[in-house]
Amino acid sequence: MAAIAVRLKGITKRFPGTLANDGIDLTVEPGTVRALLGENGAGKTTLMNILSGRYQPDAGEIVVAGSSVRFRSPKDALRSGIGMVHQHFMLVANQTVAENVALGLEAPRFLLHRGRMEREVRRLADTYGLPIDPHARIADLSLGEQQRVEILKLLFRNANLLILDEPTAVLTSGEIAGLFATVRRIVREGRSVIFITHKLEEVMEIADQITVLRRGRRVADLAPAEVESRRELARLMVGREVVLGVDREPVPIGDVVLELRDCSGSDRQGHRAFHHVSFAVRRGEVFSIVGVAGNGQTELVSAITGGACFTSGQVLVLGRRVRAGQPFAEERVGYIPEDRTGTGSVAGLDLTDNVLLTTYRRLSRRGLLPRHAARRQTAELLARFHVAAPGPHALARQLSGGNLQKLILARELSKGPRLIVADQPTHGLDIGATVEVWRELLRQRADAGILLVSGDLTEALSLSDRIAVIFRGEIMGVLSTSDSEALAEIGPMMAGVRQA
């Protein structure tokens, strides 16, 4: 039997009003992938933040290579060979790949041997199948490329245990296959990987062992061969049966709530991001835009919602023309942004104030805002949308990513919107929460039209009435989900083949 690389014994962690980890035991052996599975707020990231030195446990013990250790910082953990790639990357945007890899190294202290560092980064990238240009600036890289930099940072520091927190959430299908190949290369060398994910199919493909957490406790340890079905894993995660899908009842189609007429726009560097885009979204339908990440959908949504300017064309929201670069002023529009932390919320404000960010007009009375009414509304939203939080007074940064996403969804739907723009609305959500979001969006069709932008084709097919495929900023075609033969064209269209 292989020697134990890392063992957690009775790890407990409390935050105000929340028991995040409750006496958790976990063992990771060399040369294995341990999948950590659980719904939002189950305590996965907190547990790994403890193992990687970001948090200290209130009780319990960490044993590495047979010795008890106490990490007071991530640097302490790295000295013991343990490092973590977080969901939100910790990179310096205006520096190069090589410079980011070198940041924090104890030697050299004052002089960076740039050429030597770039050569070593390139060697590691080639060895582990992480293609990246050492000279590139972080700000110019895609999220998938930034993730490669974070992994390279750990490999450069000879980490023996790499913790990857929701690593596939920002990747295309091709990039996911590349990541899995990298993970397999890492474990073949005798290193270990802890793979945090909500995606059940990924667990079955990449894991040697699976640990399931629920409400801060470990509820199962098993091998993929012992798993009877994805449904069984889902039940272990949420503690009840989960229907892996939704029924989409027909809803009468009404008036146009969003219309784009021959719209073009640019990215932040001034490069053309999308061009000659035209479509309309009607009340009662879900209109989806799908495509491989980086094909202009992010800039298109930003322009529609006022975060960026169109260079040409017209946008009409609820029949009124939107001025370029002007954020939504219409209260009957709900916007669920892809970036939940940077755009959708303010980490240092409490949940009540985060709800008020887009609903204050509805609650204000003669210019005054009754705080008690705002707190009461927030508490009701937390309960209705099953947001795991101590209460309306909690800070946004105290919520897990999935629970913060549910708070934003609750806030926007509470406005009774006639148009909903949902950009990656289930990003980072577990299977149970994903199904809840799907059902809620479908319920909204009675009064609203929904523009859904999703990198998950299963999600788009499950929810949509019509699907537009975008490639290099152009709409390749618009398909009805009722036409099963036409849907076979989605794959070729995502690769740039126009609709026949």
Pairwise CA distance, residues 189 & 242, whole Å: 38
Pairwise CA distance, residues 417 & 238, whole Å: 30
Cβ atoms < 10 Å from Cβ of 381: 22
Check whether 155 has a pLDDT greater than 70: yes
pLDDT, tens digit, 9 for 90 and up, residues 300-326: 998 888 777 788 898 888 888 877 656
Quick check: 8 and 47 in contact, CB under 8 A? yes
Which tokens in the block code for residue 194? 């802890």
Matching CATH number, 256-332+416-494, of 3.40.50.360, 3.30.460.20, 3.40.50.300, 3.30.110.30: 3.40.50.300
User: Which pLDDT belongs to residue 68?
Assistant: 93
Q: What pLDDT band is residue 4 in, cutting at 50, 70 and 90?
A: low
User: Which pLDDT belongs to residue 327?
Assistant: 57
Every domain of the chain and the residues it spans: 6-238, 256-332+416-494
User: Which pLDDT belongs to residue 332?
Assistant: 85
Q: Which of 85-94, 113-122, 249-258 has the highest mean pLDDT?
A: 249-258
pLDDT, tens digit, 9 for 90 and up, residues 227-283: 877 778 777 876 765 555 677 888 899 999 999 999 998 877 777 889 999 999 999
Q: What pLDDT band is residue 89 in, cutting at 50, 70 and 90?
A: confident
- Amino acid in the structure at residue 68: S
pLDDT, tens digit, 9 for 90 and up, residues 323-343: 765 656 556 889 998 888 878
User: Which pLDDT belongs to residue 53?
Assistant: 95
The model's pTM = 0.66
How is the chain split among helix, strand and coil, in percent rounded to 5?
Answer: 35, 25, 40
498 vs 108, more confident: 498
pLDDT, tens digit, 9 for 90 and up, residues 442-454: 999 999 999 999 8
CA angle 120, 126, 130 (to 5 degrees): 105
Q: Exposed (0-12), middle (13-18) or buried (19+): which is 337, by Cβ within 10 Å?
A: buried
368 vs 68, more confident: 68
Which tokens in the block code for residue 438? 């799907």
In the predicted model, what is the mean pLDDT of residues 15-44? 89
Cβ atoms < 10 Å from Cβ of 311: 16
User: Which pLDDT belongs to residue 497?
Assistant: 76
Q: What pLDDT band is residue 1 in, cutting at 50, 70 and 90?
A: very low
Check whether 398 has a pLDDT greater than 70: yes
Average pLDDT over the chain, rounded to an integer: 87
Omega cis (within 30) before 108: yes
Check whether 217 has a pLDDT greater than 70: yes
Q: Which residues pair with 211 in a beta bridge?
A: 36, 221
Check whether 22 has a pLDDT greater than 90: yes
Q: Do domains 6-238 and 256-332+416-494 have the same CATH topology?
A: yes
Check whether 294 has a pLDDT greater than 80: no
How many H-runs (helices) and E-runs (strands) does the chain carry? 16, 20
Check whether 500 has a pLDDT greater than 70: no
Q: Exposed (0-12), middle (13-18) or buried (19+): which is 420, by Cβ within 10 Å?
A: buried
User: Which pLDDT belongs to residue 324?
Assistant: 62
- Tell me which residue of 38, 76, 19, 58 sits closest to 165, measured CA to CA: 38
- Tell me which residue of 270, 413, 399 sits closest to 340, measured CA to CA: 399
Q: Exposed (0-12), middle (13-18) or buried (19+): which is 187, by Cβ within 10 Å?
A: middle
Check whether 468 has a pLDDT greater than 90: yes
In the predicted model, what is the mean pLDDT of residues 4-16? 89
The number of CA neighbours under 13 Å toward the Cβ of 472 is 5
- According to CATH, the topology of domain 6-238 is Rossmann fold (3.40.50)
Residue 72 backbone dihedrals phi, psi, to 5 degrees? -100, -5
Tell me what percent of the residues of the chain surpass a pLDDT of 90: 49
